[in-house]
Chain A
Amino acid sequence: MKRKKRIATVSLAGCFGCHMSLLDMDEHILELMELAEFDRSPLTDFKTFSRRCDIGVIEGGCCNEENVHTLQEFRKHCDVLVAVGQCAIMGGLPVMRNAIMHSEDPLRECLEEAYSSSAKVYNPNNQIPNDAALPLLLDKVYTCAEVVKIDYQIPGCPPTGEVLWATLAALIKGEPAPQEYHMIKYD
């Protein structure tokens, strides 16, 4: 019998919606478990790779150094990387901060807007979170493909469980990805 494919997944600067969607494949998850096993992933709660993996599934883009580091680890430990969802592919909601581009100091402006200067914020000491345990933020949000090479992208916010299942199953079996209209039409 062929060995099961090993899949790793991670949520970087995402909302975990894509992972929720992964679970949304419902009982297909049982079929998936026939074909593959999960290694490092929030689904297994493995925090590190136990072995080299065949497929790495990435949710979210990179907004801080930890995201970059994790993504680079994924690239090193996975044969194929699949970017899943708008955040991973285009930056998604977090990338909106890149719109602050005509500033001398865009990151500072962004933090001030978020934590002190905005009208709806109550923060009398104007404190901006800066615990030593917090990873440093990047100057702007980077898409996954800007940091490492990405082999496949599954668009959607999030892509449906059906698309994720069908695409992963096809990838594992070495078949072309499904392209039925209803699967990639979102409105």
Chain B
Amino acid sequence: MDNDNATLIKQACADYDNDPRRMMDILWQVQDKLRCIDGEAMSLIASLTGTYRVEVEGVVSFYAFFSDKRKGDITIRLCDDIIDRHAGAQAVAEAFSGALGIQPGETSTDGAFSLEFTPCIGMCDQAPAALINDVVVTRLTPAKVKSILRTLRKTKDPQTLIGKTGDGANSDPLVQAMVRNNIRQPGPVLLTDVDPEQGLRAALQLSPQEVISHIEESLLRGRGGAGFPTGRKWRLAANTPAEERYVICNADEGEPGTFKDRVLLTEKPDLLFSGMTIAAYAVGARHGILYLRGEYRYLRAYLEETLQRRREQNLLGSGILGRKDFAFDIRIQMGAGAYICGEESSLISSCEGKRGEPKNRPPFPVQSGYLGYPTVVNNVETLSCVPRIMAQGATWFRGMGTTGSSGTKLLSVSGDCARPGIYEVAFGVTLAEILEQAGAQDAAAIVVGGASGQIVGRTEFHRRLCFEDLASAGAIVCFNSSRNILEAAAYYMDFFIEESCGYCTPCRVGNVFLKKGLEKIMHGEGEPEDLDYLRNLSDTIIATSRCGLGHTSPNPILSTMEYFPLVYSAMVKERPGGMQAGFNIQKALDEARIIAKRRSLIYDPAYGDRE
């Protein structure tokens, strides 16, 4: 390794006190500067941080945004989600490939460009979208690809691609993104113009216990997907005796089709940070972490500045708003492209500088989380509700929504609809009402909740979006009647195969077999018993996986089988004779024919005649 590189690496480690728990930050810095973290770099980082090379390599290999091979100076990551494909991503990918002379997954020989596919980057309402280094480009077309590459070749700086910036804070000098918020329907809780600190001031008048009681009374439930009662979570953490406690905000937003946290981070960062501060006050935490997905790095400087301003305004730091006994600060932890890091225990592993693998539970994070301390992990939207509840009261909050789901929910609507974007609605609204509002009258199938959610058909459009009925983190992906529902299910299975952390065999291997089983059906080779096989295998994966990824990964198949039985029954048929339709002897022999330079005595019938 040359001296310059070694100096850079030493600097990166020194910037984080050679602390292996800050491995994510160290690796980000090295990856940024050297465009890779190769073997020599890993060894050096390991020795500087007092850990083993295999530990470092374990982390590097885990995250999509880290690489042991050199990436191009400019890395283009194109979202290849089904939404983007429907919006023309294939042509965009071909345009990039053609113009750069490389395939997705490759780096140009001069080291200038890398092209990659990536799962959802949270821009579903402006697809096809891509990340060019940290810069987001949206609504891509083959024509735009040409001009993008022309600019990049000239300036070598992706930021120069941004002409007109998006609405709201997307045009903030520290954001400067072409991203649009697309807030279609503001609501009374989150997307409204209010003083974000009112709730914090109110909370600090109360005792921590009273704050928790308030949140309990509001019946606020987690917006990240699982719907766990937030008040109860806080109380569990507060009641666990410990010297330190942590509050972590989950801004990993990796569920395909979900982008509402991005809009909150852009438009309401103070509301969020205020919510984290209230949580910290309630549970007795001095430190907070915002775990920001790598894809949203374009928001980092803006969020850092917001935090800095809050410190200056005495909203963070010690003696917050004059409360001498209350000190709290927040650091931002960047993720690096791993869906599983949205799972709270993986997220904690990642914050600790490790591979983003889920931990065994119990102990739950509220008992033993970040560095072993009681930790509250809450979604961006959950925490953003908190100051509003403190300001307006639990009764006000409970007055919206349904009995089991109080308040409002942000929906991320995308796909085949006239008005994709963010809708803040009271819990309990029906799918049909949302589709009407979004201009998706011809919708034939809706993915509720993203890859891990449910793909439902028209028969279910009367159902209500709330924890008692269709529970989700709020993704609503619309497919019109021209879309192939099995193709969507197959894409989501590919997503899970790629994103499984690999710890449990049922998830790591089972999802591959599920996908194969689905493909067999899609190729018209399936039989009715294959449907039983898919069901049984799904049950096994759900029953034997360690974390929520494996518990939900069969959903695309299970829900399409449930809600689109006719699609499946049209694709499978009984095949008497006992032969497997999926086995193709001609294909299986092709290679051997070439190597042996002869034909098959058994399966090439003309063989005997011609010789």
Contact = CB atoms under 8 A, between A and B. Distances in A.
Interface of A: 65-66, 68-69, 72, 75-76, 81, 105-108, 111, 128, 130, 132, 134-140, 142, 145-149
A65 B599 CA distance: 11
Contacts of B589: 65, 136, 138-139
B593 interface: yes
B582 interface: yes
B580 A111 contact: no
Contacts of B587: 139
Nearest to A79: B578
B523 to A, nearest CB: 14
22 contacts: A65-B585, A65-B600, A68-B585, A69-B603, A75-B578, A81-B578, A107-B591, A111-B595, A128-B595, A130-B596, A134-B596, A136-B600, A137-B592, A139-B588, A139-B589, A139-B590, A139-B591, A142-B583, A142-B588, A146-B583, A147-B579, A147-B583
Interface string B282-315: 0000000000000000000000000000000000
B578 A149 contact: yes
Interface in B398-444: none
Nearest to B611: A132
Interface in B552-596: 577-580, 582-583, 585, 587-593, 595-596
Given A139-B592, A142-B588, 8 more contacts: A68-B583, A68-B585, A72-B579, A107-B592, A111-B595, A136-B592, A137-B592, A146-B583
Contacts of A68: 583, 585, 588
A47 to B, nearest CB: 15
A66 B578 contact: no
Contacts of A81: 578
Contact of A147 (B580, B596, B597): B580
B602 interface: yes
Nearest to A128: B595
B598 interface: yes
A21 B601 CA distance: 33
- Minimum-distance CB pairs A-B, first 3: A136-B592, A138-B588, A149-B578
Nearest to B587: A139
Nearest to A69: B602
A137 B583 CA distance: 15
Contacts of B601: 132, 135
Contact of B579 (A111, A134, A135, A148): A148
A144 to B, nearest CB: 10
Contacts of A149: 578-580
B578 to A, nearest CB: 4
A133 to B, nearest CB: 8
B585 A136 contact: no
Given A108-B591, A139-B590, A148-B578, A66 B602 contact: yes
A138 B595 CA distance: 11
A2 B459 CA distance: 55
Given A65-B585, A65-B589, A108-B591, A136 B579 contact: no
A66 B600 CA distance: 10
B592 A138 contact: yes
A137 B592 CA distance: 6
A147 B577 CA distance: 12
A75 B577 contact: yes
A138 B593 CA distance: 9
Nearest to B603: A65
